[in-house]
Amino acid sequence: MMGKVALITGSAKGLGKRTALTLAEQGCHIALNYVHSESEAYALQSEIETMGVRCIAIQADISRREDITFLVRQVNEKLGTIDILINNAGPFIRERRLFADYSQSDILAMIDGNFVGTILLDHLVLPGMRDKNWGRIIHFGFGHASESRAWPHRAVYAASKTGLVSFTKTLAVEEASHGITVNMVCPGDIRGGNKEISILEARELRDGETPLGRPGSGEDIARVISFLCQPDSDFITGNIMDISGGLDPIRPWVKPS
Class for domain 5-243, per CATH? alpha beta
pLDDT at 254: 57
Q: How far apart are CA 108 and CA 117, in angstroms?
A: 11
Continuous segment of H or E residues that includes residue 185: strand 180-187
DSSP state of 208: T
Contact 73, 55 (CB under 8 A): no
> H or E stretch including 37?
none
pLDDT for the residue numbered 247: 86
At 95 the pLDDT is 85
Percentage of residues of the chain with pLDDT beyond 90: 82
For the chain, what percent of residues have pLDDT higher than 70? 98
- Collect all residues with Cβ–Cβ distance below 8 Å to 90 and sequence separation of at least 6: 10, 62, 113, 114, 117, 118, 140, 160
Q: What element of type H or E holds 60?
A: none
Stronger pLDDT, 132 or 207, i.e. the higher one: 132
- Has this prediction a pTM greater than 0.75? yes
Instruction: Indicate left, alpha or beta for 141 from its phi (over 0: left) and psi (-120 to 50: alpha).
Output: beta
Q: Which residue from 70, 105, 121, 112 is spatially nearest to 91, judged by alpha carbons? A: 112
Task: Work out whether the CA dihedral 145, 147, 152, 155 comes out positive or negative.
Answer: positive
- Report residue 71's pLDDT band, with 50, 70 and 90 as the boundaries: very high
State the alpha helices, DSSP H only, in 27-183: 38-49, 65-78, 104-111, 117-132, 155-175
Contact 30, 24 (CB under 8 A): yes
Task: Please give the helix or strand (H or E) that residue 58 lies within, else none.
Answer: strand 55-59
- Residues 221-247, mean pLDDT to the nearest whole number: 96
Q: Is the four-CA dihedral 197, 202, 205, 206 of positive or negative sign?
A: positive
Locate the domains of the chain by residue range.
5-243
Total length of the chain:
257
The answer to whether the CB of 71 falls within 8 A of the CB of 33 is yes
Q: What are phi and psi of 11, to 5 degrees?
A: -115, 15
User: pLDDT tens digit string along 176-193?
Assistant: 999 999 999 999 889 899
Cβ neighbours of residue 114 closer than 8 Å, sequence gap 6 or more: 90, 91, 157, 160, 161, 164
**Tens-digit pLDDT profile for residues 88-146:** 998 888 788 999 999 999 999 999 999 999 999 999 999 999 999 999 999 999 888 88
Spatial contact of 155 and 175, defined as CB atoms under 8 Å apart:
no
Pairing of strands 29-34, 135-140: unpaired
